[in-house]
Amino acid sequence: MSQTSDFYDTRADEAEAAAGHAELDNVRDRELRSAAVFRKLADQARKVVIDRAKAEVVRDERRAAEAEKAASKLVAAD
């Protein structure tokens, strides 16, 4: 199941809130570690979206160039 950066940001916010309410140091530390991991996952999810968009642009450009090359071969063959 694919998670969005919003999902991870929400989990990080929840962990930070739980850390703020924690009375025990180990619980607070655990929640802060969780929040840090969720923030990294959110950043990674955003990067994946950006990288996929960039890759799609490159693929579209390559397909257009290949189509143009194939069309020019057909014209030259006639």
- pLDDT tens-place string over residues 4-39: 999 999 999 999 999 999 999 999 999 999 999 999
pTM of the model: 0.76
pLDDT in tens, 45-70: 999 999 999 999 999 999 999 999 88
Residues in contact with 11: Cβ distance below 8 Å, sequence separation at least 6, in sequence order:
34, 38
> Can you tell me which residue has the tokens 């929640």?
31
Q: With b meaning 16 or more CB within 10 Å and e meaning fewer, what string describes 25-60?
A: eeeeeebbebbeebbebbeebeeeeeeeeeeeeeee
Tell me how far CA of residue 57 lies from CA of 51, 67, 69, 71, 76, in angstroms.
10, 15, 18, 21, 29
